Structure 1
Amino acid sequence: LKMINPRREQEGKEAINIERIPLDDPESFRLLKTAETTAVFQLESRGMKDLIRRLQPDNLEDMIALVALFRPGPLESGMVDDFINRKHGRAPVAYPHPDFQHESLKPILEPTYGVIVYQEQVMQIAQVLAGYTLGGADVLRRAMGKKKPEEMAKQRGLFESGAIDQGIDGDLALKIFDLVEKFAGYGFNKSHSAAYALVSYQTLWLKTHFPAEFMAAVLTADMQNTDKVVTLIEECRKMKLAIVLPNVNVSDYTFTVDEQGQIVYGLGAVKGLGEGPVESILAARAEGGAFKNLFDFCDRVDLRKVNKRALEALIFSGALDEIGPNRARLMATIEEAIKRADQNSRNQNAGMSDLFGAVVPDESVDDVYQRSEGIREWSEKQRLAHEKDTLGLYLTGHPFDEYESEVRRFARNAIIDLKPSRNKIAIAGLIVDLRLMKNKRGQNMCFVTLDDRSARIEATLFSDAYDEFKDQLNKDTVVVIEGGVSHDDFSGNLKLRVDKVMSLVDARQQYASQLVLNVHADQFKNGFLKELKSVLAPYQGGGCPVTLRYCRNDAETTIALGEAWRLRPDDEALFELAHILGKEKVILEYN
């Protein structure tokens, strides 16, 4: 609301008062029914989402019941199934049972489709049906919860006689009493459930109508928990919300929303920074405006707080992208920038300055950057790995991106396009999560979440497959998995039963026919062959044949290198070859 209301004020709109929002908003309930409730208070867990899908709540009373029903007792007793079936017309609504009910109980039990869900309903039934006082009804509630035989026998008699005094048949009263006793042990305090459900609804309403601000707020609330931040960022992506890198010229300590509706990463969530360095950065920016370059930045922040480690974290996370040529060159310039800032500080303390009031003129900055021009920019893999280290996730890309066009040559199915099939298929993706558990025999089995940017799928390795392929299962690695796809009744999604797991290198060796290196005649100068040999040598002993395609202006010929030069086609090998030949001239060919 601190983000939403100032913007609404600028737009001439009324501020949102969260206590006065409509409690029957159709759009909010449409979102609720999809069970896309990550970050919605009390409704986030996998089990709760499953219950939401089954119940399809469409009013606040249903939400109050959701909170009360999602507990082991109601779930195991069949009470939840009864509630859902009655709501959807698959079972008759009765007050409380089709074979024994009383019209006076309808106002009490109608909000819960005749099911006794709340402790307050137990008390109201005793008051209406058997004439209990409020105090006496509370004694009955506590007695039913403790299940003491002597006390229950006494209460049973009181209930029967009280009902008869009300003109109600004693046998009917006892049948209702027995049913109330059965469910009273599972009954939840409605006043508690309603208070929780109201906050659930408020967060649901905010997620529906102000998604960017809501997600920025929940990201801020959990910004010190990297695992939770990763989950929430994934939810933002599902919601089609844009998230931009931290930026020393834009970001606050917390997550915020910019004028374009994008969520701006909070500096406080960058690992390796901390509160002190961020406060120094924000204070310097507030005092002197946007930072121009790394030297200006180091000159203005407190380097006792923003030390070399913090500077590296800022570079790795992308927070200095706006004020430098690229991340590799910024890293190479840190020492010089710190040194000059220290010198500048000493000179100012001594009362010295140059004609223009600065020790490091713009020209010297350009000179330093020019000296770093020969430094090779990080590969996509390096850049994303550093982002993962500092942010906990990949923000400017996805490790699968650089492999997608290649793996589609042999793992043709994108996860989003999968359908249940008895045929074994190959699927490629990044391992984003691993869960180990024991089966009934005490053997290890593993659940792997695979992501190929189009979607995610859970792959199951039963004990035999896990024992055989566990060494290939590493988080944040691209793998190729062969197996069968089927429907998962629990989640409603597809699942994959794994027969085989291959690393990307092993998949290349299995599926690639050869590695082709396109070399122009002009390159055969200045020790090129010696350089090529030194690049290939560390990767010899693999299974991938190598062919040189030698080109001149008027002709070309191919030269197949001997068996001794078969390569293990690691990413590092391909990267080194691309560096000396050009990326487009290093080609893995597949049949």
Structure 2
Amino acid sequence: DLDPLALDLLFERFLNPERVSMPDFDVDFCMDKRDRVIDYVARKYGRDAVSQIITFGSMAAKAVVRDVGRVLGHPYGFTDRVAKMVPPDLGMTLDKALEESEDLAAAYRDDEEVTQLIDMARKLEGLARNPGKHAGGVVIAPGKLTDFAPLYCEADGSNLVTQYDKDDVEQAGLVKFDFLGLRTLTIIDWALETINAKRREQGEPPIDIARIPLDDKASFDLLKTGKTTAVFQLESEGMQKLIVKLQPDNFDDITALVALYRPGPLQSGMVDNFIDRKHGREKVSYPDPHYQHECLKPILESTYGVILYQEQVMQIAQVMAGYTLGGADLLRRAMGKKKPEEMAKQRAVFKEGAEKNGIDPELAMKIFDLVEKFAGYGFNKSHSAAYALVSYQTLWLKTHYPAAFMAAVLSSDMDNTDKVVTFIEECRAMGLQVEPPDVNRSHYRFTVDGDDTIVYGLGAIKGVGEAAIEGILEARAEGGPFRDLFDFCQRIDLKKANRRVLESLIRAGAMDRLGANRATLMIQLPLALKVAEKQAQDRSAGMADLFGNPVAEDTAPSLGVIPDDTEEWDDQLRLQGEKETLGLFLTGHPIDRYLPQIERMLGTRIGRLSLDDLKGTRNRRAGRKVRVAGLAMMVARRNTQRGQMASVLLDDKSGRIEATLFSETFERYRNLVAPDRILVVEGSLVPDDYRGGLSIRVDAVQDFETFRQSCAAALELCIEESWMRAQGLTVVDLVARLEDLLSAHRGEAGCPVSIRYRRLDAEARVRLGEDWRLLVTDALLRDLERWLGEGAVRLRFRAPEPPREPERRRWAGSG
């Protein structure tokens, strides 16, 4: 798909006569079609000459604890509890876990059974546990594989793999190919499938992604904003910052981005040079203002004189010192390995070659030193350009077909709830509407409806398997849309979709159109299943009615038998169901009902936080004290030398901010800090140098109910005589009902309560005695609002004490 001549890609970087070792063959394919490629290779070269490669699973820290616990006969719960004490960090060992996990260290010290289990596990840790299969490794032998390597048959007898692992296969002289399944290629394939289906309906030719222009202005305009979530290779936070600084405006810049965003270039200052040269803040030189030669300009012009690619190192050696490209590749490898004796030999060859080409030997050696310095950071341009092409294709699709692209992106990561949440947020930021799942509308994957609407995929609902979804889609295709819950249960295969599956569908909102509301659907479900099972039994038994006709398939129970419609779940319960089945709140936000109270108590929102009025760097760094409320979207804990600390991502719908609790603060409030809780945090608002923007250094945390109680000055209930008549209530009934509702919430720390009673000719306000001070809980407010109506419950607040400003340090020399 790439033109190597236009992009200066060298075949000799891959293979040349002077190369001793075999090259790496890494080829990426669409995830769905990778197995077809392996099957094709086996048919093409012979199944006795093609095999996949073995891997050896080792006993890592958690796994070895579980294995040893099972062999020692410990109950599952005991072994599971010990295994969960091992931190889930990459590269974790049991020795390291005993140092980092206080719970594990205490159990090891105090419990003899744990001590025995861990000591035995430490002896086995790291040993090979079981054979596996390399994700993409395939060996193609020149003859029968058994002439070169022993083979191992997988347990199910389906495949042969080499008994040599990937390193030993190469030592045996065989060529290893990596046929990898790349998710992004699948995303592109799915997006094009959606786009081209619509274009066919409209009589337009299909889009060939290989033929899109590589200089599309709209795509580069989007790229410059840094809004590259879901764009291949360009979506990380650090990369987005680099993009905004660089402002890429051509394909070469995207190729450079892939090569620049690595630890070496970022730490060496090369990235800053590249950006400054592109924007004219630093003069472009080839390669250095003090040591440059005109012959290097064609080689380094596309990277503004910065030596960025391994191919550039090879071309410099070829042009300046007369190396063959094969010899230049050996030079590149020698520079990467930094062996002194090899480098001394290469310096002499380079100097001699430069002299023969009429180049000053001293200048040649200075340039050689520069090339050697940057060669360690050099990246394979062929690799970078290939990835840049895929990056550009995803960028182009996101720009011109955002709904189809994001639907494909969401479908590709349906099993990863955290990613689905991130991508849904991105859809909303892009102005796309994400509609809840619907058994009459959704498919297994996410789909599009128009240019700006994505319909949730049934496959992304937790607890609903692929077989159940296939059954639902087949029934819908055969008999059309489902009419109601009873029709749904009768038409689907209940062996594939059991009660638990249907409960997940209801809680996710996928059956909202089949009943009055989710609460009603959940109440009617047992009867609907019972009726459907009875009809299925009758059909299988060949039962007929009184006149010999088959039992009707769509028989529903009489209306008197069906439970009556009930009141919908409250927002908290409804949204919690969505969170548990979809991984996110889709049809609302838990903070919605609290926003008026937050505005009145705190007077500020996360989106309005700013340090713009603080002049001078010193004042900005000290920050200012703030107090904000938000939903804890995510809590990340990590160990430090001083103990555990935590970062909390707070969201109040106006914006998001990260709040950091250092070890002492976290220890004090750790019981409060948990995901999906509404918290009020107080601390210092400071610049966030790492991410850009602002963050909060937390001093104190309260849960929202506690903070609201501290601010509640009075609770007033408004009761109209006309409402009482409509409810059929006498004054005695009213007093009894109020007593029943309020008595459970009495407390000395509560706020005073008054009742405002209105009728057409008069109005009175009755203040309840001190014994009826109430703790203002969510449950109390919810019950009162359900009974009296939202406008009839009024909560007045006193202003909370303002957060104290951080102390300004007195600097030496200040007056």
Counterpart pick for 2:746 among 504, 528, 540:
540
Structure 1 equivalent of residue 648 of structure 2:
448
**Which amino acid in structure 2 is aligned with residue 539 of structure 1?**
H
Q: What secondary structure sits across from 2:193 in the alignment?
A: coil
State whether structure 2 residue 626 is matched by structure 1 residue 425.
yes
Shift of 1:285: 0.1
Structure 1 equivalent of residue 395 of structure 2:
204
Structure 2 equivalent of residue 437 of structure 1:
638
Structure 1 equivalent of residue 709 of structure 2:
509
Counterpart pick for 1:15 among 206, 215, 224:
206
Q: Deviations over 1:500-549 (max 9, x none)?
A: 32222122112221122223453445744333333323323243222223
Structure 2 equivalent of residue 352 of structure 1:
544
Counterpart pick for 1:372 among 548, 564, 582:
564
Shift of 1:260: 5.7
Contact 1:333–1:368 (8 Å) recurs in 2? no
Point out the more displaced range, 282-291 or 486-495: 486-495
- For residues 359 and 97 of structure 1, the distance between their equivalents in structure 2, rounded to whole angstroms, comes to 83
**Which amino acid in structure 1 is aligned with residue 675 of structure 2?**
K
Counterpart pick for 2:737 among 531, 552, 556:
531
Could you tell me the TM-score, scaled by structure 2's length? 0.69
Residue pairs, 1:112-511, within 5 angstroms: 112-259=303-450, 261-349=452-540, 350-353=542-545, 358=552, 361=555, 364=557, 366-368=559-561, 371-373=563-565, 375-420=566-611, 423-438=624-639, 441-511=641-711
Counterpart pick for 2:253 among 53, 59, 62:
62
Q: Deviations over 1:252-299 (max 9, x none)?
A: 000000136310000000011110110110000000000000000000
- For residues 83 and 211 of structure 1, the distance between their equivalents in structure 2, rounded to whole angstroms, comes to 31
- For residues 561 and 413 of structure 2, the distance between their equivalents in structure 1, rounded to whole angstroms, comes to 40
Structure 2 equivalent of residue 44 of structure 1:
235
Change (3 A) 1:95 1:496: same
Structure 1 equivalent of residue 55 of structure 2:
none
**Which amino acid in structure 1 is aligned with residue 439 of structure 2?**
V
State whether structure 2 residue 266 is matched by structure 1 residue 75.
yes
Q: What secondary structure sits across from 2:444 in the alignment?
A: coil
- For residues 77 and 579 of structure 1, the distance between their equivalents in structure 2, rounded to whole angstroms, comes to 64
Q: What secondary structure sits across from 1:471 in the alignment?
A: coil
Shift of 1:337: 0.3
Q: Deviations over 1:464-506 (max 9, x none)?
A: 4333333332211222233343433333323233333222212
Point out the more displaced range, 73-82 or 518-527: 518-527
- For residues 296 and 494 of structure 2, the distance between their equivalents in structure 1, rounded to whole angstroms, comes to 72
Structure 1 equivalent of residue 796 of structure 2:
589
**Which amino acid in structure 1 is aligned with residue 762 of structure 2?**
A
Structure 1 equivalent of residue 769 of structure 2:
562
Shift of 1:353: 4.8
Contact 2:407–2:454 (8 Å) recurs in 1? yes
- For residues 443 and 292 of structure 2, the distance between their equivalents in structure 1, rounded to whole angstroms, comes to 61
Q: Deviations over 1:128-166 (max 9, x none)?
A: 000001111111011101100000001001100000000
Shift of 1:585: 1.7
Contact 2:219–2:395 (8 Å) recurs in 1? yes
Residue pairs, 1:101-112, within 5 angstroms: 101-112=292-303
Contact 2:543–2:550 (8 Å) recurs in 1? no
Contact 2:299–2:316 (8 Å) recurs in 1? yes
Change (3 A) 1:365 1:479: farther
Shift of 1:458: 1.8
- For residues 275 and 238 of structure 1, the distance between their equivalents in structure 2, rounded to whole angstroms, comes to 30
Point out the more displaced range, 117-126 or 258-267: 258-267
Contact 1:432–1:449 (8 Å) recurs in 2? yes
Shift of 1:357: 5.8
Q: Deviations over 1:155-194 (max 9, x none)?
A: 0011000000000000000000001011111111110111
Q: Deviations over 1:383-404 (max 9, x none)?
A: 1110111000011111111111
Q: What secondary structure sits across from 2:600 in the alignment?
A: coil
Structure 2: runs of 5+ lacking an equivalent: 1-191, 615-622, 799-815
Contact 1:514–1:545 (8 Å) recurs in 2? yes
Contact 2:539–2:551 (8 Å) recurs in 1? no
Q: Deviations over 1:37-94 (max 9, x none)?
A: 1111111111211221222211111111111111111111121122122112222111
- For residues 630 and 652 of structure 2, the distance between their equivalents in structure 1, rounded to whole angstroms, comes to 4
- For residues 498 and 307 of structure 1, the distance between their equivalents in structure 2, rounded to whole angstroms, comes to 47
Shift of 1:423: 4.7
Shift of 1:456: 1.3
Contact 1:445–1:463 (8 Å) recurs in 2? yes
Root-mean-square deviation (CA, aligned residues, Å) is 2.0
Structure 1 equivalent of residue 23 of structure 2:
none
Contact 1:547–1:558 (8 Å) recurs in 2? yes
- For residues 168 and 588 of structure 1, the distance between their equivalents in structure 2, rounded to whole angstroms, comes to 85
Contact 2:255–2:385 (8 Å) recurs in 1? yes
- For residues 260 and 110 of structure 1, the distance between their equivalents in structure 2, rounded to whole angstroms, comes to 41
Contact 2:625–2:683 (8 Å) recurs in 1? yes
Contact 2:403–2:451 (8 Å) recurs in 1? no
Q: What secondary structure sits across from 2:697 in the alignment?
A: strand
Change (3 A) 1:423 1:77: closer
Change (3 A) 1:460 1:134: same
Structure 1 equivalent of residue 289 of structure 2:
98
**Which amino acid in structure 2 is aligned with residue 391 of structure 1?**
L
Change (3 A) 1:549 1:151: same
- For residues 794 and 497 of structure 2, the distance between their equivalents in structure 1, rounded to whole angstroms, comes to 44
Change (3 A) 1:112 1:260: closer
Shift of 1:102: 0.5
- For residues 246 and 382 of structure 1, the distance between their equivalents in structure 2, rounded to whole angstroms, comes to 18
Contact 1:411–1:480 (8 Å) recurs in 2? no
Shift of 1:312: 0.5
**Which amino acid in structure 2 is aligned with residue 69 of structure 1?**
L
- For residues 359 and 443 of structure 1, the distance between their equivalents in structure 2, rounded to whole angstroms, comes to 65
- For residues 496 and 233 of structure 1, the distance between their equivalents in structure 2, rounded to whole angstroms, comes to 26
Could you tell me the TM-score, scaled by structure 1's length? 0.95
- For residues 386 and 344 of structure 1, the distance between their equivalents in structure 2, rounded to whole angstroms, comes to 30
